[in-house]
């Protein structure tokens, strides 16, 4: 098996009493585009800074090419960072900014630098900007110079800390494509931090989902999207309806659950569950189908409202059953009008494909239930 480029082993970090990174262990492969994804405050940026050396770790190890770098100062690691606010040196022009790394490390002669800088600027499509000062550049342009400045050092890993956060939507989409292209062309391993799941799903080879300092799931975008390992990932990634159900029967590959008096057969029952348990059924909102006539293995619901939002048709429904708490709400997203043109008050049958839903253990203290 190929040896990983970077290994995090039981990494722990505290800010005073606050346990910000808890026992983090995973590997990063050479040449991959790995994203650290999670909500604000989950520790992803801290983890990035630990890898770069700008933060120290309290226990555990970081191995680069098999060797421990946890005690090395940031300037001694062959790892470079692209900062959220670009951090270009305001008193140096573009050329000198890009040259900074090689100059302080004396890795290239001035002659070689001229050539390398030209290449770097070409790579980020900023040729000819050598003499500009940072304050003369726009946000997107500074972004590219920051990337060039890092890449010219040919780091083993390039760390990017929410680099597109400060850009407007259209520019962001454009830069995403550019960054991806850049990564493929240079073959550098990218570790990317973001809280935007679309960005992560779009660009990554693999995603590490982090919450409250712990790794929730590590996998390819498809994996994470279709097979969330726990409730957090199911809620954080993708847009799903999450319903509380009773487990009536369970076997690997199939299960029967009850929602009030209704019973539904589920195909995707990977997590071990027992009859009598309360569980959670998570279904992608856009993988559901509606029908105005009865359909086998469907939930009976009452239509509440229909919205037309750009390319989507959003239909709000309430599951028909009596619970003490109220009726569970389901949102169905369609991209085109089907046979069933329902109106508020109509009875609608809702069904879905096996791979659009997943059954997960209910976690104590979960408060995500959406009731009507």
Partner 1 sequence: MTKANRWQTIYLAVFFVILYLPVLSVILYSFNANPSTAKWTGLTLDWYRELFDDLKKHATGEALVVSIQVAVLTAALSAVLGTAAAIVSQSLSERMKKAVQWVMLLPLLVPEVALGVSLLMFFNALRLPFGHLTLVLSHSLFCVPYVYVMVRLRLAEIDREVIESARDLGATRWQAVRTIILPLVMPSIITASLLAIAMSLDDVVISTYMSGPRTTTLPVHIFSMMRVGVTPKVNALCTLILLGTFLIIGLNQVVSMKSKTRGLSN
Q: Which positions touch partner 1 (CB under 8 A)? A: 52-54, 73-75, 79-81, 83-91, 100-101, 104-105, 133-135, 142, 149-150, 153
**240 three-class SS:** strand
In whole angstroms, how close is the CB of 171 to partner 1 at the nearest point?
16
Bridge partners, residue 37, by sequence = 194, 209
In whole angstroms, how close is the CB of 208 to partner 1 at the nearest point?
21
In whole angstroms, how close is the CB of 125 to partner 1 at the nearest point?
20
The smaller minimum CB distance to partner 1, of residues 88 and 283, is found at: 88
CA angle 94/159/181 to nearest 5° reads 75
Phi first, then psi: give them for residue 86, nearest 5 degrees.
70, -40
Nearest alpha carbon to residue 279 among 270, 290, 292 = 270
The smaller minimum CB distance to partner 1, of residues 2 and 91, is found at: 91
In whole angstroms, how close is the CB of 204 to partner 1 at the nearest point?
23
Burial of 250 (0-12, 13-18, 19+ CB in 10 A): buried
The smaller minimum CB distance to partner 1, of residues 81 and 197, is found at: 81
What tokens were used for 106? Answer: 């004396």
Element containing residue 222 per DSSP (H, E): helix 221-226
In whole angstroms, how close is the CB of 338 to partner 1 at the nearest point?
51
Query: Pseudo-torsion of CA 169, 124, 192, 60, nearest 10°?
Result: -160
The smaller minimum CB distance to partner 1, of residues 28 and 150, is found at: 150
The smaller minimum CB distance to partner 1, of residues 93 and 211, is found at: 93
């Amino acid at each position: 098996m190929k040896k990983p480029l970077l290994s995090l082993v039981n990494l722990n970090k505290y800010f005073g009493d606050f346990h910000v990174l808890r026992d983090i262990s995973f590997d990063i492969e050479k040449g991959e585009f790995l994203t650290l994804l999670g909500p604000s405050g989950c520790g992803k940026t801290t983890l990035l800074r630990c890898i770069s050396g700008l933060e120290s770790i309290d226990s555990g190890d970081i191995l680069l090419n098999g060797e421990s770098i946890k005690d090395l100062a940031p300037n001694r690691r062959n790892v470079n960072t692209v900062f959220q606010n670009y951090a270009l040196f305001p008193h140096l022009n573009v050329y000198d900014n890009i040259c900074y790394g090689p100059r302080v490390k004396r890795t290239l002669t001035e002659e070689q630098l001229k050539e390398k800088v030209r290449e770097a600027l070409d790579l980020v499509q900023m040729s000819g900007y050598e003499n500009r000062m940072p304050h003369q550049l726009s946000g997107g342009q500074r972004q590219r110079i920051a990337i060039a400045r890092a890449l010219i050092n040919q780091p083993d890993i390039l760390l990017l800390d929410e680099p597109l956060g400060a850009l407007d939507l259209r520019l962001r989409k454009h830069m995403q494509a550019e960054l991806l292209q850049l990564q493929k062309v240079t073959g550098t391993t990218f570790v990317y931090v973001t809280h935007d799941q679309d960005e992560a799903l779009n660009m990554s080879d693999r995603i590490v989902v982090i919450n409250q300092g712990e790794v929730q799931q590590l996998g390819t975008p498809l994996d994470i999207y279709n097979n969330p390992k726990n409730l957090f990932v199911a809620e954080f990634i993708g847009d799903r309806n999450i319903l509380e159900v009773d487990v009536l029967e369970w076997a690997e590959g199939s299960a029967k659950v009850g929602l009030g008096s209704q019973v539904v057969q589920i195909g995707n029952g990977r997590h071990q569950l027992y009859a009598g348990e309360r569980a959670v059924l998570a279904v992608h909102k856009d993988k559901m189908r509606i029908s105005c006539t009865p359909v086998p293995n469907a939930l009976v619901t009452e239509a509440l409202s229909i919205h037309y939002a750009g390319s989507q048709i959003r239909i709000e429904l309430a599951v028909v059953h009596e619970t003490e708490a109220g009726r569970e709400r389901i949102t169905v997203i369609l991209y085109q009008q089907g046979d069933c043109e329902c109106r508020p008050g109509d009875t609608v049958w809702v069904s879905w494909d096996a791979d659009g839903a997943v059954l997960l253990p209910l976690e104590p203290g979960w408060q995500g239930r959406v009731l009507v």
